[in-house]
Amino acid sequence: MTCTEARDLMHQALDGCEEARRRLEAHLAECPECRDEFEALQRAQDVVAEMVASDPPEDRLERATVAALAVADHRQHTRSPWAALAMAAAVLVAFGVGLLAGRAVWPREVVRMERVPQIVEKVVEREVPVVEERVVVKRVPVVRERIVYRDRPAKATEAEEQPPAAPPEPVMPEIREERIVAKPMPITITQTEEVAPAPVVDEETPEADEIGGEPRAPEEQRLALETSASKGGRIVQ
Amino acid sequence: MAEAGRELIARAKRGDRAARERLARRHRREVFRVAYAILGDDEEAEDATQEALVRMLRGLAGFDERRDLGAWVRRIAVNCALNAMRRRPDEAEAPGEQTAASNTADEAQTHDLQRAVRRALAELPERQRVAMSLFALEEMDLRSTAEAMGCAEGTVKSHLHRARQRVREILSDWLED
């Protein structure tokens, strides 16, 4: 027997095979290396056996037994046919209640509704005082005014004074705005001869000047009146 | 004996509370030993024992009394212990790492060896560790280990050979003295 064959027999002998142990003993008597190896393997198995060997404590055994019997009996009662029937009835009742409540009993997707602020437009009619505007037309006296333009020496304006170095511009007669209220002038004309009627001159009437051309000087007006008077007219004021 | 055992199982299946309690008390010790072999902690083994007994009592209704009830219960115990072990936090200290105060040099050396064995087992893959732990129990052989693990005997042999060789290498300093 070779040492390799002896190694295989060592494990068989340690497994409990008596035939393998008898065959091995002859080789071990002749081979100290295989004998040492076999003793080492036997020792390894022995120390493991010493390690796992136990003398179960009686108190632990009793606790485990009593608890196991209690648990098994409880489960046995709950698994009896009547218990199963009662549980099935309870499930059906719960399912029915759930349906009535609008909810399924089994798990399902749950949609959570949350209250959120919402802006609602609302038209509210209320009576409020309203101020009515009316247009009232009243007749009021109106004073008619006429505008008469008369020649006057013009004054230098601030615009013409600036700049001083500029040549003076020709002075233009200032057109002044003057309010003149026309008054009726009683004129009595006594015509003795058939002469051409003398024109009624109103010094303050601007229409003649504006329409007739160049405005007349006061001296020229006076001469005209005298001329018309010499032709048979008379001016009575 | 086998006939009495089947009658007891039949009564328990019919809901006889006394029969159920007798079955629980009859198998609780081996359940605890299996759980402790895998977990290495009394408190965790107690919880696993309780859970395994509950499963046994619940499953009696569908159990064929012609089968080996002990093998079935050990299988339940292995599964409950594995579930408890997988619920452990990753960073949690492995049970059995805590060492009691040693009064003598021999005790200190024994505790050091125990810690070394724990670490060696912790380094093994789960199936190898379970196979070696269960097979190391006094009452377990290849067949019962295979039944408890729910695999073939050949598979258990393979796990045992690799696990034994690995532990022997890890503990070489301790085993060759």
Q: Strand ranges (DSSP E) for A106-234? A: 146-152, 174-180
A40 SS3 class: helix
Q: Tell me B96's DSSP state.
A: T
In this model, does residue B67 exceed pLDDT 70? yes
Residue B91: how many other CB atoms lie within 10 Å: 5
Mean pLDDT, rounded, for A179-191: 57
Tally A–B CB contacts below 8 A.
123
Interface test with B, best of A52, A63, A71, A75 (most B CBs within 10 A): A52
Mean pLDDT, rounded, for A29-41: 92
Does B57 sit within 8 Å of A72, measured CB to CB? yes
Mean pLDDT, rounded, for A171-185: 58
pTM: 0.58
State the Cα–Cα distance between residues B94 and A219, nearest whole angstrom. Answer: 148
Residue pair A171/A210 in contact (Cβ under 8 Å)? The answer is: no
Nearest CA-CA distance, residue A113 and chain B, Å: 42
Does A54 sit within 8 Å of B113, measured CB to CB? no
Quick one: CA torsion of B63, B130, B133, B108, rounded to 10 degrees? -140
Please measure the distance between the N-terminal and C-terminal CA atoms of chain B and give it in whole angstroms: 48
Structure tokens at B64: 């064929």
Mean pLDDT, rounded, for A11-24: 92
Q: Tell me, what's the pLDDT at A64?
A: 94
Q: What chain B residue is nearest to A77 in terms of C-alpha separation?
A: B15
Judged by phi (left if over 0) then psi (alpha if -120 to 50, else beta), residue A181 lies in: beta
Digit-coded pLDDT (tens) for A85-129: 766 777 777 767 666 665 554 554 445 565 656 565 556 566 666
Mean pLDDT of chain B: 87
Range from A2-6, A141-145, B30-34 that averages highest in pLDDT: B30-34
Identify which has the larger pLDDT, A207 or A39: A39
Residue A171: how many other CB atoms lie within 10 Å: 11
Please choose, from the candidates B137, B48, B45, B133, the residue with its C-alpha nearest in 3D space to the C-alpha of residue B95: B45
ipTM for the predicted complex comes to 0.84
Identify which has the larger pLDDT, A132 or B34: B34
- Could you tell me the CA-to-CA distances from B63 to A103, B13, B60 in Å, in that order? 44, 8, 5
Q: What chain A residue is nearest to B122 in terms of C-alpha separation?
A: A48
B123 SS3 class: coil
Nearest CA-CA distance, residue A31 and chain B, Å: 16
State the Cα–Cα distance between residues B170 and B166, nearest whole angstrom. Answer: 6
Residue pair B75/B148 in contact (Cβ under 8 Å)? The answer is: yes
With a pLDDT cut of 90, the percent of chain A lying above it is 23
With a pLDDT cut of 70, the percent of chain A lying above it is 35
Rounded to 10°, the helix B69-86/B42-59 angle is: 130
Residues of B in contact with A74 (CB under 8 A): none
Residues of B in contact with A77 (CB under 8 A): none
